Amino acid sequence: MLGGWLLVGAVLAGAGALCAAEGRLAEVVLELDPRSAHQAQVTSLGPGSWEVRTAGEDPYVATLPFPPAPKEASVLTFEYVSLGAVRPMEVFAVFPWSESGAVSAEELPYSEGWSTFSLDLRPALDRATRPPTRLRLDFGRSPGQVIQVRHLRLRAPDPEEEAREATRQGRRTSELALENRIRDFLGRRFSVEVTAVEVGPQEVSVQGNLGKETGELWLAESPLWRHLTEERTFARVTRLEREGEGRFSVRLPRQVAGEDASQRDRLWSRWLVVREGAGGADEVVSAARYADAVTARGAPPPPELRTKKGLGGFNLGRPALEGDLDDLGIGSVTVNLFLSRFLRSAASPRTMPFTFLGRTYHADRVEVEKLDRTLLAAARRNLLVFGIVLVPRAKSWDSPALGRLMEHPDCLPAGIYSMANVTDGAAVETYAALLDFLAERYSRPGAPFGRMHHWIIHNEVDAGWVWTNCGEKPPLLYVDQYHKSMRLAHLVLRQYDAQARVFASLTHHWAATASFRYIPSREVLRHLLAFSRAEGDFDWGIAFHPYPESLREPKTWRDRKATFAFDTPMITFKNLEVLDAWVKVPAHRYRGRDVRPVHLTEQGPNSPDYSPRALAEQAASLAYVWQKVRALDAILGFQFHNWIDNRAEGGLRIGLRRFPDDPEEPLGRKPVWQVFRALETPEEAAATAFALPLIGIQSWDEVLYRGPISGEP
């Protein structure tokens, strides 16, 4: 037990003092600047020592300015005491502060005694144009933390830190080279073609055309988790015999023997043609192709989408509010699927076993039954349901081994969620097993546990550094990992429901980004199209989040970064016409024919506070965007987020209802609730008339843009 917080240690020099001793490289002694504190109270406890009390969800404090640090002084280090883990711990190394100059650690660990914390700032300093002269320390995202800090300084890295940095630099170099090889492969044109792959209950059928290629050609199989460009030899399945006009057709068993008496499913294999090349390596003579068609157990009809109105983040955690599903007249909901809640590493009284490919897994019965209740509430109302597949970080799973398996191996502390681990056979099989369990349960005839019609794969992947992390990857390599997760989910889901789709989740940052670590949404889509063209198109849709330009500002009609051009920096409520036009471009359609469906699955205008003016502007913003949603036929749904104002959303009030702990009217219906209820009813005109003068227009017809969308899509 900690008996008290005893301050000990030598008196340090003033801020920015340089010191050297016994031949060590220079250090820079730092001091915190209490005047710079944001959502925190910083108190000096003596020379070189401070207490930081966090008071909000974005607590930070900067150092006093210091002389430009020597290049070798790249590691921030300090001693601290904290009776609670601070998650995450982030340091901004470049002023003015921006994400490009930030480095984060998963946590400042719990410590009852004085411990040392060190963070190598070179990932940020390498991008800087000048040495740091000030730092900003961000202490997590929670109020009520108390941290004591002393001996704050910049120093040279030790040998272990040097080795980690060399590894990071080496990985970056190799990943850039891998991205170039993948790009080249996706762009290659082959004379041999695998034209169709169909997966039935027992067999896989592969068809193709050998063109004018001669010699000994083989059909080969490549697992999803490997990079085609990195394989020297492939699993040759059968020698190909040329049929009429060079065609070939092969039938193979779908399941083959795996390891430990289990089975291996070829559902998510890729098929390509190879021949023996120089030095024993295989020469690839075709593109690889995933399954085009999967024989489904059935095709249960989806509910008729009677309205574009939907609700985001629905669950029955508050059964008393279930009536909103009826009162608001909605037709669809999204439901979060935190995968770590459903899978356990071993049997227990609260688990239920299920078998996949000969292995037994253990689902958490309590969590599954909670999901049942939510989905049954939706099924009673014949609502269209989108499950949002989220992969929590390793620490959220019930055992370290399971967490390490499910978290992407390159996931970094900045990520709230991880990319699915599609780099390893065992991880892919476990991920597939859990998806299969959920897909089968919620596609059964008669929907005894409810229905899940479509899956949104992960969250806001263009901002994957935060929401779907697999490290600081080059864009195409990042989308390669995401595409594999989407493809696997698509194939698993289509076994049970021939009409089910997977959707890509994207933010409103369209042709520009909010951070160098993010990827423009349009670029993500272009890469997905490239993989679809090269490896077989599949029927995916777009789950877009067109928040106003500023999440805090509801007056979206003033958005400056939302233009009517295909290279608009952002797509917000103001310029949804751009997204509608983009998906209708023939090259962007599924098989060049079908417009990919768009659902707006997370967005809601903010009310900065609960004043009458702020609440009216929030409601007016919804009335404004609804005119566009109704008119644009590629946009099939608008799932309002958030249902209820949430204290964990950084001070936003984007819900239809007030905070549950609001002192005046807990969970009270806001004016935006009333407007949402009235949309698509005879009351709509009267309920939205107040917004016209607030927006500055005479009629709703003025909201719609009917001109051309300029530029290249």
Domain positions in the chain are 18-160, 187-294, 312-703
Confidence label for 84 from pLDDT (cuts 50, 70 and 90):
confident
Residue 75 has pLDDT above 80, yes or no: yes
CA distance 221 to 235: 5
More confident residue, 257 or 21: 257
Residue 16 has pLDDT above 60, yes or no: no
Distances (CA, A) of 389 to 282, 454, 548, 643, 682: 37, 10, 25, 19, 37
Q: Tokens 């030598």, residue?
A: 10
Confidence label for 5 from pLDDT (cuts 50, 70 and 90):
very low
Using alpha carbons, select from 333, 207, 302, 297 the residue that is nearest to residue 492: 297
Pairing type for strands 635-640 and 598-603 reads parallel
Edge to edge, the sheet with strand 293-294 lists: 247-253, 203-209, 193-199, 293-294
| Mean of pLDDT values over 17-36 | 72
For the structural domain made of 18-160, what CATH number should be given?
A: 2.60.120.430
Residues in the chain, overall count? 713
| Mean of pLDDT values over 81-91 | 91
Percent of the chain exceeding pLDDT 70 equals 96
For the structural domain made of 187-294, what CATH number should be given?
A: 2.60.40
Residue 7 has pLDDT above 80, yes or no: no
State which amino acid sits at residue 67. P
Distances (CA, A) of 48 to 8, 44, 64: 10, 8, 12
Confidence label for 119 from pLDDT (cuts 50, 70 and 90):
very high
| Mean of pLDDT values over 595-613 | 98
The CATH number corresponding to 312-703 among 3.40.50.1970, 3.20.20.80, 3.40.50.300, 3.40.50.800 equals 3.20.20.80
The pLDDT value recorded for residue 109 is 87
Q: % helix / strand / coil in the chain, to the nearest 5? A: 30, 25, 45
| Mean of pLDDT values over 201-214 | 95
| Mean of pLDDT values over 148-155 | 97
CA distance 90 to 28: 19
> Beta strands of 492-642 (E only): which ranges?
502-506, 540-544, 598-603, 635-640
More confident residue, 403 or 514: 403
Residues 582/576, Cβ–Cβ less than 8 Å = no
The predicted-structure confidence for 547-577, as pLDDT tens digits, reads as follows: 999 999 999 999 999 999 999 999 999 999 9
The pLDDT value recorded for residue 20 is 44
CA distance 174 to 673: 51
CA distance 605 to 431: 35
CA distance 434 to 429: 9
Give the lowest-confidence range in 291-300, 327-336, 558-567, 683-692. Answer: 291-300
CA distance 253 to 128: 56
Q: Of all helices (H) and strands (E), which one includes residue 43?
A: strand 40-46
Residues 187/61, Cβ–Cβ less than 8 Å = no
CA distance 78 to 50: 11
- Could you write out the DSSP letters of every residue in 407-449? B-TT--TT-SEE-B--SSHHHHHHHHHHHHHHHHHTT-TT-TT
Residues 598/386, Cβ–Cβ less than 8 Å = no
Q: What is the mean pLDDT of the chain?
A: 93
Using alpha carbons, select from 600, 636, 455, 443 the residue that is nearest to residue 538: 455
Give the residues across from 288 on adjacent strands.
none
| Mean of pLDDT values over 231-236 | 95
CA distance 205 to 291: 9
Residue 452 tokens, joined: 């899940």
Confidence label for 11 from pLDDT (cuts 50, 70 and 90):
very low
